[in-house]
Amino acid sequence: MCNDGSSHALDGQNMLVSCMQALVDAPSMETAVPQLLQHIQAFFAAKECSMFCFSSVDQERGFSFRLVDKRVQMESFEIDESWIAQQAQLLKPGWQILLKDLESQRAVQPEAYAYYQSLGVQSICVTPVWAHDRLVALLCVLNPRRHW
C-alpha cells in the first residue's frame, strides 16, 4: 500500500500525480481519459490500464475506460455507494495498492488470487483519485514492467 522506497516506484508515483492535472482541466472525462491511459500504459510498459470513474452528477452510474491494444473501451456501470465508501476507507489520499507478485497472495487471499490469475494479472498498481474528500476514480495499471 505504499512506496517501497525505490527510485522507480517514486518515478511512477510522480508521473501518476502529474497526470491528474490534465484530468481535472479537461472539458470531459471522455476526452481526457483515453490520452491519460495511453500515456500511463506507455510509461509503465503495462499490459493494460483502466480507470473507473464515479460521477458526481449521476450518483447511480459510473464509467470504466479500459485501454487494451491501443484501443479504449468505455462502458457504464451501476454504482454501489456502499462499495465506494468501503474503498474510500481502505484507500486513504496519497496511498496506493501495489501488488508486485500475485503469487504472494495465493495463501493470504485465495479468492482474490484466483480472480486476478484468471485475468492474467501478475502485478497491479491501483491509485485512487480524490476530489476534496470524495473518491472519484480508481486508476489501475496491470502488469507494469517499467518504473515499478
Note down pLDDT in tens along the chain; length 148 residues: 333 444 555 666 677 666 766 666 777 767 778 888 888 888 889 888 888 887 656 566 677 788 776 777 888 777 777 877 777 777 777 778 888 888 988 898 888 888 888 888 899 888 888 877 778 888 889 898 887 6
**Residue 46 and residue 142 in contact, taking contact as beta carbons nearer than 8 Å:** yes
Query: 40 in helix, strand or coil?
Result: helix
pLDDT at 126: 85
SS3 percent helix, strand, coil of the chain, rounded to 5, is 40, 30, 30
pLDDT at 148: 66
User: Sign of dihedral through CA atoms 7, 113, 79, 64?
Assistant: positive
CB neighbour list of residue 56: distance below 8 Å, 6 or more residues apart:
131, 134, 136
Grid coordinates standing for 22? 490534465
The separation between the first and the last C-alpha atoms of the chain, rounded to the nearest angstrom, is 14
* CA separation for the pair 111, 117 (Å, rounded): 10
